[in-house]
Amino acid sequence: MLEGGCLCGDVRYRIDGPVFRMSHCHCSMCRKAHGAAFGTYLNARAEHFAITQGADRIGRYDASPEAVRTFCTRCGATLQWIAHAPGASIGIAAGTLDDDPGLRPARHIYVASKAPWYELPDDGLPRHDGPG
């Protein structure tokens, strides 16, 4: 089981199942949502993810036709990327986890739209111009 939450602590969540496919996403939406060169997400099945505190503090933003992004309405912390497709896994902002998930980033995605001021490190991870 993994737990995490937002910066101010109002929103808390639990993951009661396996996590998989950790990625560094360099798309412009992730960069802007995180205020950083990229966002790092790991995935879990929706049925394994539960908000345990502060559900009333979760804001939703329809970022694209493909997905909704969630965030804490008090501190603004990015929490999830939820695909509209039925049965799809959800992306959880890795920086919101309390502990080590036992998983490491496996790829860089959307590198074609990376920040022009950011140089990708030679970390040996596969690089994909799109979603991978």
CATH architecture of the domain formed by 2-113: Beta Complex (2.170)
Asked whether the predicted pLDDT for residue 93 surpasses 90, the reply is: yes
Confidence of residue 74 (pLDDT cuts 50, 70, 90): very high
**Can you tell me whether residue 46 is helix, strand or coil?**
helix
| Residue indicated by tokens 């937002």 | 6
User: What's the CA gap between 58 and 46, in Å, rounded?
Assistant: 16
CA–CA separation, 60 and 68 (whole Å): 6
pLDDT tens digits, 97-124: 999 999 999 999 999 999 999 999 999 9
In the chain, domain spans: 2-113
What are the tens digits of pLDDT across the range 17-49?
999 999 999 999 999 999 999 999 999 999 999
H/E segment holding residue 114: none
Give the model's pLDDT for residue 111.
98
Residue 88 pLDDT exceeds 90: no
26 burial type by CB count under 10 A (0-12 exposed, 13-18 middle, 19+ buried): buried
